[in-house]
Amino acid sequence: MTPSTKRFIDLSHPLTSETQIYPSDPAFQCKAHASHAKDGYCVHQLSLGTHTGTHIDAPYHFFPNGRKIGDIGLEELVGDVAVVNLSGLKERQRISWEILQPYEHLMQDCQILFINTGWCRAHYQTPMYLSHPYLAPNVAVEILARGIRVVGVDTLNPDETPSTFAPVLEGSDGFGFYEAFLGAGGIIAENLTNLEELLEAQENTPEGEKWIVYLVPLNLTEADGSPVRAFARKARK
């Protein structure tokens, strides 16, 4: 199915035992609790962290008084999206506002911004995935000033991720983007996939149609984050 005829694009990684996670986070597990053969029906037990796979971060992730997942309305997680294509970036490259500024015009009239680094397509489920490019804190300040309230990346983390778990990150910004964006009440989506497909679909969508993004979390109340089923749907304007 070509992008011009396709009406849904899945932006979520499957949750499996191979799902790549942030160093020290709990691994995903799905094991049988009841079976057809023994019990006459099937039930599975899930074990995972709030930041497993494709997920969103609520401000509470970093701020004790910040909004939790249960405080975020679904209307904040559905809407028009701008996709910026930065594929071709180098290992652990710092993405400053100067790199994003040429795409500023794409951020008009939408509150959701996705940044495609190409890192997911090239390196997901490899050690190199941890060496992704990352966003400078000034990017958070600038995109917030332009009305963006949800930012999504095709990487493990908008800030730099250590190669192995350690309390000190390798870069000089630490959790600078997290703190600036979540501290202003924003929401961050991580581990998105198929952003190249969404970008191509947007470029080939006929006039009178557009792509709407949905980031649907679990209906949690006290959590700092949640796995999401992220997808895009073609709709009439």
Range of the domain at 189: 8-236
> Is residue 72 left, alpha or beta, with left meaning phi > 0 and alpha meaning psi from -120 to 50?
beta
Q: Is residue 3 part of a domain?
A: no
Count of H-run helices and E-run strands, the chain? 6, 12
pTM beyond cutoff 0.85: yes
- The pair phi, psi for residue 183, each rounded to 5°, is -65, -25
Does some domain include residue 138? yes
- Split the chain (237 residues) into runs of 10 and give each run's mean pLDDT: 75 96 93 96 97 98 98 97 95 96 94 97 95 97 97 97 61 90 98 97 91 97 97 92
With respect to residue 175, please indicate whether it lies within any of the assigned structural domains: yes
Which CATH number is 114's domain given? 3.50.30.50
Let me know if residue 2 belongs to a domain.
Answer: no
Provide Rg for the chain, Cα atoms. Answer: 18
- Structural domains counted in the chain: 1
- Considering the domain boundaries, does residue 151 fall inside one? yes
In a domain, 179, yes or no: yes
| Residue 110 CB contacts under 8 Å (≥ 6 apart), including other chains | 79, 80, 81, 82, 147, 148
Is there a domain that residue 154 lies in? yes
Q: Is residue 1 part of a domain?
A: no
Q: Where are the alpha helices (DSSP H) in the chain?
A: 36-39, 97-100, 119-123, 137-145, 176-183, 195-203
Which residues partner with 30 through β-bridges?
46
